[in-house]
């Protein structure tokens, strides 16, 4: 049975590594620290040197850089560091059956954190990185919201597909990683315990580890899509076997959520894409909230914009292009709602219940839409209530098109029929946005951005 100890003494020797191996790595210029004194506890080595611009194909680690390393963090008082995480994990089947104990592994985590305590809000978000695209995706790293609000974000590489890609992307930096026990566990049986041990290692390291100078109070597990599904398995089938849990609360984004009722608060945020039927919705309770966002897509526009320069830098061929039936990527900013949910999840741990939200409306098994084609019900941001385009969660076409939603700007005649002048348009955006802030679905910083964008637009202005 897995037990995640706390307060263990730390040494300079990571689990399963000899002193000679350590000196060999030190000779290569790699700083090592913060590992547990026993094989039962995970250890961290790092920070791993190297940052962009660098050469992922370099032979020396310090001349490489982290995959999808973020840009411009220092301007917001943030820093990024990467660490090796190693230890011994238990292997589980998806039904929670224990397959093996104390299986050695080695992976990496990447941390984006405030430089100073004065900017830190006390909450650490640990994201189970998504590997559906074939590589680690920072699906829930939304820099404008997370840095503005002062979160620590930690990306955890828990699955074989992501780790195998890293190893091929930069053998010098990632070649030693292995989450399969040399091929013995290739269907991610170790991933559940590895993910939890990432939180354990950070908590054990305390104020001398990667979060030195910060005072973390709340540890939130987050995951999107496939990762939310794996977290669901963990919460439903494996967490009940854990004697000393390391996560205080959970956020399941655009994916499944647990059916088990546990003591830890659970937040589920779904896009319009993800709500295919009104059946099977878990009711809100003292420990559960489900929000559904009208017009939003499983994978929306904002993430594409953020990742474009990283994809051009780090992926062969740059950012993938898709031939979808409709123009892809809904512009409804679901990440605004997700950021609000994180705040409520943190406050929930202080006894403050989050607001409930209406569900998307269905007529039988068909989503209800207005005369413009916009979904009704759910959380309705100004992009849906005061539309300048038709944003939906639906699309068809090749590969992942069904996840991207659609975007169709309105023509000038339609806009003129909706808004008699610019002032009316901005006023309506302001009213809807203020109502969403009051309801708890939107943070003030994002509301101000929406109102400012509306004011700077040409909507409702007569052309000369």
Confidence of residue 5 (pLDDT cuts 50, 70, 90): very low
Question: What pLDDT shows up at residue 208?
Answer: 85
Its pTM stands at: 0.91
**In the prediction, which pLDDT does 462 show?**
78
Does residue 12 surpass a pLDDT of 60?
A: no
Residue 4: pLDDT over 90? no
- Is the pLDDT at 23 greater than 80, yes or no? no
pLDDT, position 34: 35
Query: How much is the pLDDT for 162?
Result: 98
Q: What is the DSSP string of 378-397?
A: SB--HHHHS-SEEEES---B
Give the lowest-confidence range in 4-13, 287-296, 430-439: 4-13
pLDDT averaged over every residue in the chain: 91
Rounded-to-integer distance, Cα 138 and Cα 25, Å: 28
Q: Which residues contact 367 (CB under 8 A, 6 or more apart)?
A: 272, 275, 360, 361, 375, 376
The pLDDT of 181-204, averaged and rounded, is 98
> What's the count of helices (H) and strands (E) in the chain, helices before strands?
12, 15
Beta-strand pair 389-392/10-11: unpaired
Tokens of 180: 């399969």
Residue-level pLDDT at 422: 97
Residue 211, exposed/middle/buried by CB under 10 A (0-12, 13-18, 19+)?
Answer: buried
Split at pLDDT 50, 70, 90, the class of 207 is confident
Q: What is the pLDDT of residue 307?
A: 94
DSSP letter at 289 equals E
Q: What's residue 9's pLDDT?
A: 28
In this prediction, residue 353 has a pLDDT band, given cuts at 50, 70 and 90, of: very high
Q: What is the mean pLDDT of residues 85-96?
A: 98
- Write the pLDDT tens digit of every residue in 24-42: 333 333 333 333 333 458 9
Q: What is the pLDDT of residues 454-463, one digit of tens each?
A: 999 999 997 6
pLDDT digits (tens, 9 = 90+) for 163-173: 999 999 999 99
What is the distance between the alpha carbons of residues 464 and 456, in angstroms, rounded to a whole number? 17
């Amino acid at each position: 049975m897995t037990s995640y100890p706390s307060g263990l003494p730390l040494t300079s020797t990571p689990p399963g590594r000899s002193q000679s191996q350590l000196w060999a790595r030190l000779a290569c210029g790699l700083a090592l620290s913060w590992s547990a004194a026993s094989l039962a506890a995970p250890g961290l080595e790092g920070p791993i040197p190297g940052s962009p611009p660098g050469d992922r194909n370099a032979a020396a680690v310090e001349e490489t850089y982290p995959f999808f390393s973020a840009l411009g963090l220092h301007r917001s008082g943030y820093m990024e560091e990467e660490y090796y995480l190693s230890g011994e994990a238990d292997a589980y089947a998806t039904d929670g059956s224990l397959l093996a104990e104390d299986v050695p592994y080695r992976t990496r985590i990447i941390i984006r954190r405030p430089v100073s305590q004065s900017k830190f809000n006390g909450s650490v978000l640990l994201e189970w990185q998504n590997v559906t695209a074939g590589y680690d995706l920072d699906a829930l790293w939304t820099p404008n919201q997370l840095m503005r609000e002062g979160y620590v974000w930690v990306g955890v590489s828990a699955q074989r597909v992501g780790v195998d890609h890293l190893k091929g992307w930069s053998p010098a930096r990632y070649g030693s990683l292995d989450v399969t026990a040399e091929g013995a566990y290739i269907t991610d049986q170790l991933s559940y315990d590895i993910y939890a041990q990432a939180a354990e290692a950070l908590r054990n390291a305390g104020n001398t580890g990667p979060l030195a100078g910060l005072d973390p109070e709340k540890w939130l597990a987050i995951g999107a899509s496939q990762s939310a599904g794996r977290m669901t398995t963990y919460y439903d089938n494996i967490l009940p076997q854990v004697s000393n849990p390391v996560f205080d609360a959970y956020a399941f984004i655009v994916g499944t959520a647990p059916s088990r009722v546990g003591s830890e608060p659970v937040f589920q945020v779904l896009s319009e894409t993800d709500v295919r039927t009104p059946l099977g919705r878990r009711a809100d309770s003292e420990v559960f909230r489900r929000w559904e966002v009208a017009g939003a897509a499983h994978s929306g526009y904002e993430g594409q914009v953020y990742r474009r320069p990283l994809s051009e830098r780090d992926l062969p061929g740059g950012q993938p292009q898709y031939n979808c039936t409709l123009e892809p990527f809904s512009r409804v900013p679901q990440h605004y709602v997700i950021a609000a949910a994180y705040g409520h999840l943190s406050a929930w741990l202080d006894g403050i219940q989050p607001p409930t939200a209406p569900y998307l409306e269905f007529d039988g098994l068909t989503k209800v839409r207005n005369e413009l084609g916009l979904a009704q019900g759910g959380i309705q941001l100004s992009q849906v209530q005061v539309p300048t385009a038709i944003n939906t969660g639906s699309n068809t076409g090749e590969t992942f098109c069904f996840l991207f939603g659609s975007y169709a700007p309105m023509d000038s005649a339609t806009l003129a029929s909706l808004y008699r002048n610019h002032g009316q348009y901005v006023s309506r955006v302001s009213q809807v946005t203020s109502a969403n802030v009051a309801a708890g679905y939107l943070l003030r910083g994002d509301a101000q951005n929406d109102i400012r964008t509306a004011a700077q637009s040409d909507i409702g202005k007569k052309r000369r």
